[in-house]
Structures are given as structure tokens and as C-alpha cells.
Structure 1
Amino acid sequence: MTTIREARPADVPVILQLIHDLALYEREPDAVRNTAGSLDAALFGDRPTIYAHVAEDRGEVQGFALWFLNYSTWEGVNGIYLEDLYVRPEARGAGHGKALLANLARIATERGYARVEWSVLNWNEPSIRFYENLGAAAQSEWSTFRLTGDALADVAAL
């Protein structure tokens, strides 16, 4: 039976491990620089900037959703940006991912937020099918842009 709950400080090590597992799945095993300390500070510090929920089954964390607020200037209300949704491979198909997304949808509707959105890698067909089966629609008219590394530093120096 899946239980969805807010993450607690004691969950930081398992969430960090799941982040590493997700990076491996997304073919970027060496890309994670996050630490337990920085994750704990972002989730539970004086001014939290992110939120997380975990999916538990029989007391074991099987997956997580990590998210933050965004804002729609057109709608005039917040939304949820889902940074990561991950369920352990051996726990997939048991409804954990669906329960995590349903939880975020409930939070959004209860708080009057306009939307829940996220990105998915184009090659990740199983996830794309999962999201489409829930009624999510790809925003193909938009492209994601990112400043990072030297380009970020160069623009910051302008």
C-alpha cells in the first residue's frame, strides 16, 4: 500500500541516493554534485526553497517527488514545477509515481495554483507514455533554454 507523505529530515540520505539513481537512469551518473547538507538546507533550512514528498510502501521509501513553486504572469497565480519524480525500478508499476503526481495535483488545486509542469527527456518513452496516460500534454511549442558554466558566468558579467 502506497503512502505519500512530506519528506522529513531523516529522509535526506535516501532522497539523495534516489537522486543519484535517477542520474544513472538519465545517463548522467557523474553529474550529481548535491550533498546531504545542501539538500537538507534547501528542504529544511531557515528559508526552504524546495519541497519533497516520498512514496512509502511498508515503511520503505520507494520514490520521491521534489518540487518548487513557479509563477504564471498570465494567470496571476503560482504553479508547481516538478524538478524530479523517481520511483525505484523494482517498485515501478505499483502506483507510486501516480500517487506522487496525484498528491501534487491535489496540492495545486487546493491552493488555487494554475498548473503542475515538468520536463522529460525526449528519449524517455516509458515516462512519456506514463505522463500521457495521466492526461498530461507535451508543450511542443516551447523549448527549454539553460545558462550554465562559462555561459552563465559570461552573462552574469554583462
Structure 2
Amino acid sequence: MANLDVKIREAELADLETILTFIAQKSEFDGAKTLLAATADQLQQALFSQPPLVRVLLAEIEGTAVGFAMFYATYSSLLTQPCLWLDDLFVQAPMRGMGVGTALLKHLAQIAESTNCGRIEWTVNAKNAPGIAFYEKQGARILENIRVCRMDGDGIGLLAGK
């Protein structure tokens, strides 16, 4: 692994297009490009409303953003503590394996520790063997007995009676 000087910082309004580009790249990596519906206006509202709905960390090398982590606060009734949900972690292909993802996760862990979070959680595609190996190397446990439940807009509307 190269010894890169990775800087992690919170995203600013000027980073909006960079974040949208990373979201598009991640959707392509995940094989979900047809599901991509993010817009600059929606993202700006989510990131910069008060309080923000989500936060983004950017990883930079020599002033150029090469990856991001998008996360938000959750809560565990079992722990009776706040938690963090890592919604997206993405590093551009040429920078993978160079410590960028580790730097993003480490910074996120520092945020979790400083805010008394009981855990950080996220999903990983079961077919993403390199991603799974990376997360396990960082100390994550892959929970095989838990399944993600998802209800999209149509399902929400149907259940809500509309």
C-alpha cells in the first residue's frame, strides 16, 4: 500500500457536484445506475438544511477528492445509544487499496466515539468479496442472519393508503 497523505474533511456546499459524481459512480459500481434519481437540489437540501439529514466526509489526496462517506444518525433501543448509519462508502478505482477507505472509516469511527455512538452499521453486497474482506479487515462483523427490508415509494404509498 502506498503511503499517501489522505486528508478527510466535511463536505461544503461547493462540493455538491463532486458528491453527485461520486454517487453516480457508486451507483454504477453497485449495478444500480437505473435507480439513480439524485438531484443537486435534493442533495443540497439533505446536506445543508438545519439540522442536516445526512453528512458527507470527503477523502482528498493533494487537494483532489477521491472518495466519500455519506452517513447519518440512528438510534439503538437495545443499546439505548445513538448510532451511525454509513449509507455510502466509495473510493475511486485507482485509489482503492491505498488507505483511502480506511481513512474514511477511521474518521467516521472518531465521530462515532466522540458522540457516544454504540455502533456504526451499513450494508455490503453479498457478491462484493473485496468489500467484505476490506470491512472485516477493519474489524467489522458481517451479520449473516439479518436481512435488509426495503419499502420504496410505491410500497410506502400503498401501505399509507394512497
TM-score, with length taken from structure 2: 0.94
Deviation string for 1:87-136 (max 9, x for gaps)? Answer: 00011112110000001111111111100110001111110000011110
Paired residues in the alignment total: 158
Q: What's 1:6 paired with? A: 10
Aligned Cα root-mean-square deviation (Å): 1.1
Q: Which runs of 5+ in 2 are unaligned?
A: none
Distance 2:119 2:105 in 1: 12
**Which residues of structure 1 form unaligned runs of 5+?**
none
- What percent of counterpart residues are identical? 35
In 1, the alpha carbon distance for the partners of 2:153 and 2:115 equals: 36
Out of 129, 142, 153, the residue aligned to residue 138 of structure 1 is 142
Residues 1-158 of structure 1: matches in 2 within 5 Å?
1-157=5-161
Distance in 2 separating the partners of 1:47 and 1:105: 21
After superposition, the C-alpha distances for 1:43-101 in whole angstroms (9 at most, x for unaligned) are: 01233100110000000000000000110011111100000000000111121100000
Residue 41 of structure 2 aligns with an amino acid whose one-letter code is G
Over 4 Å off, 4+ runs: none
Give the superposition deviation at 1:149: 3.6
TM-score (normalised: structure 1): 0.96
Give secondary structure in 1 for the equivalent of 2:117.
coil
Q: Deviations over 1:132-153 (max 9, x none)?
A: 1111001112111111143221
Residue identity matched to 1:89:
A
